[in-house]
Amino acid sequence: MSGLQTIWPPGTECVARYNFAGTTEQDLPLCKGDVLTIIGVTKDPNWYKAKNSVGQEGTIPANYVQKREGVKSGGKLSLMPWFHGKITRDQAERLLYPPETGLFLVRESTNYPGDYTLCVSCDGKVEHYRIIYLNGKLSIDEEEYFENLMQLVEHYTKDADGLCTRLIKPKLMEGTVAAQDEFSKSGWAISRKELKLIQSIGKGEFGDVMVGDYRGTKVAVKCIKHDATANAFIAEASVMTRLRHNNLVQLLGVVMEETGSLFIVTEYMAKGSLVDYLRSRGRSVIGGDCLLKFSLDVCEAMEYLEDNNFVHRDLAARNVLVSEDNIAKVSDFGLTKEASSTQDTAKLPVKWTSPEALREKKFSTKSDVWSYGILLWEIYSFGRVPYPRIPLKDVVPRVEKGYKMDAPDGCPPAVYEIMKLCWTLDPVARPSFRVLREKMEHIRTSELHL
């Protein structure tokens, strides 16, 4: 990058691309990978004034940093853009035409369901190699075994190892973009060398969750190993690159390793999930002011999502985490979509999901508002499961007839009124998160004056 194409406004986040020791006292030394915030431009437009994550300020050379942006999901992000799914042998050969040695794709095997086929163009013709799926591992020659397709492709990219040629150029599936390139380009790629994994703290839907150390900071790391879940995970990470709020769990970066492992690195939330926090401490430890603050924290996060046209779709106390200093932050953006997209309802939690979302797959900020009402009930009942004593199959029919849960013991009437507003059957009549936040703040100020 020579000179400056555009001048970045104050508040822009950027990442150091190189080390910079500084030449004067005014300079801010950089290590490759440092995240910085631009404060302003200097008299020389090739230099910015910036501050680093620990608050030190100084000047930095503009061409040493890369602007950090939300990952665009214009095309379909894929960790395996060379995977074409169910296509025939003939279709694969047509896709690899005109022949170019080393051009390749992977498809599902037509003759051996459950296996794959690696198709490689070589010396003017296409070779098809069966990838055998054996005891959870993949192999072409039954000598080398791989955890997943990403690992296998990576191996043969480095070395032909018995194939007619090494894999040189992937034939991308139409409409897909390589996720690795997009995350690097947007400044979110983290080097594996800088991440130390310390211990497992739980299992998520996609893989293990671990405590790690990234450049001296304690972090949470989601580790994914399977092809199928990796792409869903990339969708979650790309959403997180576009969101920034004090009550949302912050993404720090993504490691996409050649070994086919994927790590999503986020801030570490020392006190775990809100539901566990409420259950383990209970009424004797947590006062009403604390419950109200958690409720407001979540509401502010949801107002931010509402303003930015995102629908969470899975809001519940289990998906809210609590930091060391007792700040509640919404996490788990696995189902979060821009408001315009549709969603399959296979994995939806019935007790937290609004009737119209369950029945007609109609998701909106207003369906999130319904879930927020359930979350408030969870907070004020110290983590009880909603709709106690009602069999799961009866919940939806009763709710659609107008049933609303009773107030939890000790819940302030004003908070219970808010829950009931959230559970209005007509989504249009439910309040927005902005209105809910104003109501919660009003309750908070009136309690402070008591």
Cα–Cα distances (Å) from 197 to 172, 184, 191, in that order, read: 33, 22, 13
Beta bridge partners of 169: 103
Task: Please state, in angstroms and rounded to a whole number, the distance separating the CA atoms of residues 150 and 118.
Answer: 12
Our answer to whether residue 314 is catalytic in this structure is: yes
DSSP bridge pairs for 132: 139
Name the pairing type of β-strands 176-178 and 76-78.
Answer: parallel
Give CA–CA dist 20/34, Å, rounded: 11
207, containing H or E segment: strand 207-214
205-208 contacts at long range (C-beta below 8 A, 24 or more positions apart)? 205/229, 205/334, 206/232, 206/233, 206/334
Main-chain dihedrals φ then ψ at residue 222, nearest 5 degrees: -95, 125
Maximum C-alpha span of the chain: 84
Q: Which two tokens stand for residue 411?
A: 């819940």
Closest CA to 333 of 249, 276, 255: 249
Q: Residue 311 forms beta bridges with which residues?
A: 337
On whether the CB atoms of residues 309 and 364 are closer than 8 A, the answer is no
Residue type, 416: Y
Q: What are phi and psi of 145, to 5 degrees?
A: -120, 145
Set 227, 297, 314, 368: catalytic member: 314
Distance between CA atoms of 132 and 142, rounded to whole angstroms?
8
Integer CA distances (angstroms), 12 to 35, 189, 256, in order: 10, 18, 25
The Cα 120–Cα 169 span in angstroms is: 10
Query: Which of 264, 265, 253, 100 has the alpha carbon at shortest distance from 171?
Result: 100
Q: How far is CA 250 from CA 69, 79, 324, in A?
A: 14, 22, 15
Q: How far apart are CA 444 and CA 258, in angstroms?
A: 51
DSSP alpha helix (H) spans, 308-422: 355-360, 365-380, 392-400, 413-422
Tokens of 400: 């659609």
337 in a known ligand binding site: no
What's the CA angle centered on 323, arms 321 and 326, to 5 degrees?
Answer: 105
Instruction: Write out the binding residues for ATP.
Output: 222
What residues are annotated to the active site?
A: 314
Instruction: Write out the binding residues.
Output: 222
